[in-house]
Structure 1
């Protein structure tokens, strides 16, 4: 059986009391709500800072608590709280053209967290960058697959509308997250 205990955890949240973990989830979902408001409106999929925040939360919180945080944020959105892109919420977002991206967010956090726990983190920023790019590509692929379904199976149109325009942003957000992880690692080492 594989040991899934983290080899490295920058915030060590898994060893903190449950109340501190709950506070981290609340804080993380607030960060995601703010990141959702940082938006460049495109149709049908807007450009937001959500993917940056989800990847970073996964890498900082670890794969378990990162995924729980993202799920809490998605549940808030499903309940109608204005936490999703454009400051909206409601169940309609979970069946529309961007639903695949929403459903894939927990997986993005899990992959980023799992890799960070195993050394793809601020101690090795190039590995962190590579891991985040890979996690973001998986997320983007799943979102575009749902978009293709939503567009009646038009894979080419889904690629043009929901994948290709986000590749440069994916690289930039991954680089920013890796740099943030490096900065957090440097600050942590000074303490």
Structure 2
């Protein structure tokens, strides 16, 4: 894959991780307002494996694919109504989550400990965006929005942060060894 044009490689990688997010989004546990889904696990994996810029671009692609109507969001949903609906804030949050999670790792080191910190910070970003939109769209109080959009997701979010960290670091090491992605040199930053 080293002979492949770098721009084409970037497009393929971002598209692949947008597709992985769409697939994991369908792994879902329904709750009254906001379901627990594999989307956030996919966001953490994406950022941990491919970093800030490609991770954010992959999440932009994912949001755009769903926004134009493809059924890539949780529960095979798609369309702009999802993005402007009660759970759309989480999807918008995925973009900043992927960027910040990847950036923390790029500025420190790609190891399990730092990945867990980065993915936990990312989880908080996603929950913040989601809760703000949930509150606004459903005209909830902050307490109601937190009860519906944050509290049910903390424990499972930490589990997903660990899984994204462990799997992400493991996969990233293999991809770097295979020269499919590049190792980040922190001394050059």
Do the aligned residues in 2 keep the contact of 1:58 with 1:113 (CA within 8 Å)? yes
Structure 1 runs (4+) deviating above 4 angstroms are 188-191
Structure 1 pair 62–190 and aligned structure 2 pair: CA distance change class (3 A): closer
Match of 2:155 among 144, 168, 175: 168
In the alignment, structure 2 segments of 5+ residues that lack a partner are 179-189
Does residue 1:178 correspond to 2:165, yes or no? yes
Displacement of 1:181: 2.8
Report how many aligned residue pairs link the two structures.
176
What is the aligned partner in structure 2 of residue 106 from structure 1?
A: 95
Alpha-carbon contact 1:33-1:73 (below 8 Å) kept: yes
Q: Which residue number in structure 1 is paired with residue 112 of structure 2?
A: 125
Shift of the 73–185 alpha-carbon distance from structure 1 to 2, 3 Å rule, reads: closer
SS in 1 for 2:72: coil
What does residue 24 of structure 2 align with? 35
Q: Is the 8 A contact 1:59 1:115 kept in 2?
A: no
Partner residue of 2:81 out of 92, 101, 104: 92
**Does structure 2 retain, via aligned residues, the 8 Å contact 1:77–1:84?**
yes
Aligned partner of 1:158 in structure 2 is 145
Any conservation in 2 of the 1:39–1:47 contact (CA below 8 Å)? Answer: yes
Q: CA contact under 8 A between 2:46 and 2:168: conserved in structure 1?
A: no
Q: Which runs of 5+ in 1 are unaligned?
A: 1-12
Q: CA deviation at 1:147?
A: 0.8
Distance 1:139 1:33, change over 3 A: same
Give distance in 2, aligned partners of 1:184 and 1:135: 19
Q: Normalising by the residue count of structure 2, what TM-score does the alignment of the two structures yield?
A: 0.86
Give 1:21 deviation, angstroms.
1.0
